[in-house]
Chain A
Amino acid sequence: MAKLNRKHQEVVYKLFNQFAMEDQRKYYINTIARYRSSAILVTQLRAGFALLTGIAAAFVGLMVAINPGQCVSGEPTGDCTGTQILLFVALLVTVAAPAIGSAFTTLGDLYQWDRMTALYESALENLDVADAQSPLEGMGEDVYHKAFITYAEGTLEVMNDETAQWGQLTKPPQQLTDFVEEQEEKAQTAQTRARRGVTTTTTTTTSPNANPVDPTPSDPSAGG
């Protein structure tokens, strides 16, 4: 089978167009929409937690400055339960919100939605370029065959380039790599300290018991 006849070639083109080109196009379009949506939500969450931190910190500052009923510092002049609960919640938010906001930042770095969206958008454009080479009915047999080869090779090339670039973009977030290294060191240090602590405790606890059993050479009752 050196070359397909025109009829067969046309069927193969339509099959390739539907199941390779159009499927890939749909995949890019859906993925871009999904990634964009995820990136928007994560950005909103990050901004929301930053806003919450700011408001809570400002509230704590305000309470310290006005010190209502001397509930923050000094001798309370009335019932401080409500103020203290509010202050506790505000303090909790100033501590927890930045950590949660930072978690969402790292989640964004993990998925890299923005960079992946740019990659898929570029692939989608390149797919259109390949599609522009697609064979037309009015073409002669040889031209049709050549146009199909150019179109199909172009489509596969776009898919190949996208996979290669995707592989290069996929990396674990640096801050997580650093965090894991730090925690491993911390765990190692805790282990070493615990071992040292046990050794010291063992030495101090066994010494008093050891004395009566192990008579010192100067002990006259030891004999020998």
Chain B
Amino acid sequence: MSAQAPIPPSMPGKEFTAPKQSQYNGRRHPLLKELPFFTTFPPVDLSFSLISETQLNEFFEREKVDPKIQAELRTDLQYMEHELLRLFRDRDHKAKLNQNRYRLYQILYIWLAALAGVFGAVQALSIDSNPGLVPFFAFLETVIAAFVAYLATVSGREPPMPQWLVNRRASEQLRREFFRYLAHLPPYDRLDGYRRKLTLSQRSADINRGVYPQDVTPANGGGA
């Protein structure tokens, strides 16, 4: 997986601040950064681009890129904004959202399992020393079992893990397609004008519906 933190592009006359992706707003141990969001999940960052306007301008300035080439690259990026980046942002956000859901459920199960273990051990210890506590701990264990069953039912409607994997695969494929188009790599190296654009639109739409160019063979509908 290689989802990277969104970098907002600069807009004329408007100072950009990085979107707050952290629920803690401070320096934390990497382990804490790995933990899911427990309350609200950040919405889609519509300003996100794989190459931001600021980065692009810096690059052009540093490399002293010919204005004609600059214009061509900008045209490619503008075309991809609607045809590819829109889909990428959506898939990337869905992947992160489902990753968060998956980890949240799993971490809840982990702590419920720990609690069930503690209650079970205390219950076993109380049989001899304090038998009156046994029904109380048995009740707590049943409450945990009921809560686990509730969580399993809630998460079972749209299982987060397959959704996470499917969306992450699509977003990473779209990311690679972005660079493939920009760098004029095959199949874009032998195409020109509208054919090149059409191919990008077609391939992006296919990737978005789960049909990956590398998996398409003449036997299953590709090859044209």
- A residues with a Cβ closer than 8 A to B are 1-4, 7-8, 11-16, 18-20, 23-24, 27-28, 33-35, 37-38, 41-42, 91, 95-96, 98-100, 102-103, 106-107, 110-111, 148-149, 152-153, 156, 159-160, 162-163, 166-167, 170, 172-173, 175-176, 179-180, 183-184, 186-188, 190
Contact = CB atoms under 8 A, between A and B. Distances in A.
Nearest to A180: B152
B185 A153 contact: yes
Given A173-B106, A179-B113, A167 B185 contact: no
A66 B155 CA distance: 52
17 contacts: A1-B196, A8-B72, A95-B121, A99-B113, A99-B114, A103-B111, A106-B113, A159-B172, A159-B176, A160-B176, A163-B173, A167-B165, A179-B113, A179-B116, A183-B116, A183-B149, A186-B145
Contacts of A162: 2
B66 A91 contact: no
Interface in B149-200: 149, 152, 161, 164-165, 168-169, 172-173, 175-176, 179-180, 182-186, 189-193, 196
Given A34-B34, A96-B118, A100-B114, A176 B189 contact: no
B219 interface: no
B29 interface: yes
A145 B103 CA distance: 44
A16 B110 contact: no
A7 B55 CA distance: 20
B63 interface: yes
Given A24-B2, A99-B114, A179 B148 contact: yes
Contacts, number: 167
Interface of B: 1-2, 4, 29-31, 33-34, 50-51, 55, 59, 63, 65-66, 69, 72-73, 102-103, 106-107, 109-118, 121-122, 125, 141-142, 144-146, 148-149, 152, 161, 164-165, 168-169, 172-173, 175-176, 179-180, 182-186, 189-193, 196, 214
A184 B153 CA distance: 10
A102 B59 contact: no
